[in-house]
Amino acid sequence: MKTKYMNPYLAGVLLGLVLLSAFYFSGRGLGASGAVKSVVVHAVDTVSPSHVASSEFYSKYAGEGKKPLNSWLVFEVLGVLVGGFLSGALAGRLKFKIEHSPKITSKKRLILAGMGGILFGFGSQLGRGCTSGSALTGMAVLSLAGFVTMMAIFGTAFALAYFFRKNWI
Amino acid sequence: MGPLVPQEIIGEGWNFFIAFVVGIGFGFVLEQAGFSSSRKLAGVFYGYDAVVLKVFFTAAVTGMLGLLYFSLFNWIDLNLVWVNPTFLWSAIIGGIIMGAGFIIGGFCPGTSVCAAAIGKIDAMVFLGGIFIGIFAFGEFYPLLKSLYMAEYLGQIKLSDVLGISQGALAFFVIVAALAMFWGAEFAEKKFPQEEY
């Protein structure tokens, strides 16, 4: 069967070169959850600056003239939106759609997606980065944390796969 | 000699522009590889589609080898490249929570942004969930801080932990990646495939 997608090994090499260029130009790797954190901190700061000032977590990133949205990852993730959109447009994949297994309803898929997002968002803060920032980038710089987080993410997903199989297959 | 911005060979003002261009490349490759489809991503955990494993480990090996070669030729100063610090317990427990989020939600943060960009509504909801999860972490931070800061080992590399050279570690990672690719090709033949 002819696949619609790029050969995965070629895509992996290209992704590795994107990662390498981030290291070469900016001295840092890729990320995603950090950008969402910046938006969350910015939102909290807009609604209640006093809450930011009294919070040990938020005050690391906002208040006292710090601008959480002026961050490398925020601009990088804006690029991800543009790059993903361009690729989807070129491949004819732009379409509003709820993708799910025929065994579950769209509603169930959306509830599960929301729950998964909450867990991933929470875990990414505890783990200091997500699949791209901690696992992928961390492994490329040989960081112990990168290997540990990568094994914890994939190991847990494999271990739980059986219980959630009806949602996917 | 790199990295260019930290050494002020390129002005700091360019850093956000570079971030944006790097992001375009990141999003484009993710979408081309099929990472905008949750069923394709989840396939790796059931053996019917191992694209995640192949792309992820090929990228990690490419980035790792690239850094080591660039360093060997003095094109990049590895001391100026950020190494993720290791806080052992939060890395493990954070990873476990993320793994549960992955199998339940079908995306990770980067892939959800990429999938939302082409109109996947489930990805937009997942992304909304990430905001809530991060906000919850921020609000409960006082309770979580002791776990968050526990077992700090510094900006340590796996090669130092194992007492081997970075090159030797890279070699073992490549061998492990090749073994996984072989396993992935085998699994994809064994389990029925569908294109999403």
- Residues near B51 by beta carbon (within 8 Å), at least 6 away in sequence: A5, A8, B33, B34, B35, B40, B41, B43, B44
pLDDT at res. A1: 38
pLDDT greater than 60 at residue B12: yes
Query: Which residues of chain B lie closer than 8 angstroms to A133, CB-CB?
Result: 84
Instruction: pLDDT tens for chain A, 169 residues: list them.
Output: 345 899 999 999 999 999 999 999 999 999 999 999 999 999 999 999 999 999 999 999 998 889 999 999 999 999 999 999 999 999 999 999 999 999 999 999 999 999 999 999 999 999 999 999 999 999 999 999 999 999 999 999 999 999 999 999 8
Which chain B residues contact residue A154 at CB under 8 A?
99
In the predicted structure, residue B117 carries a pLDDT above the cut 90? yes
Find the CB nearest B28 among A86, A98, A132: A86
ipTM score here? 0.96
pLDDT at A2: 44
Mean residue pLDDT across chain B: 96
B195 pLDDT band (50/70/90 cuts)? low
Domain boundaries, chain B: 2-190
Residue among B93, B125, B142 minimizing CB distance to A56:
B142
| Predicted pLDDT of residue B192 | 74
Is B147 an 8 Å CB contact of chain A? yes
pLDDT tens digits, B28-66: 999 999 999 999 999 999 999 999 999 999 999 999 999
Residue B196 pLDDT exceeds 90:
no
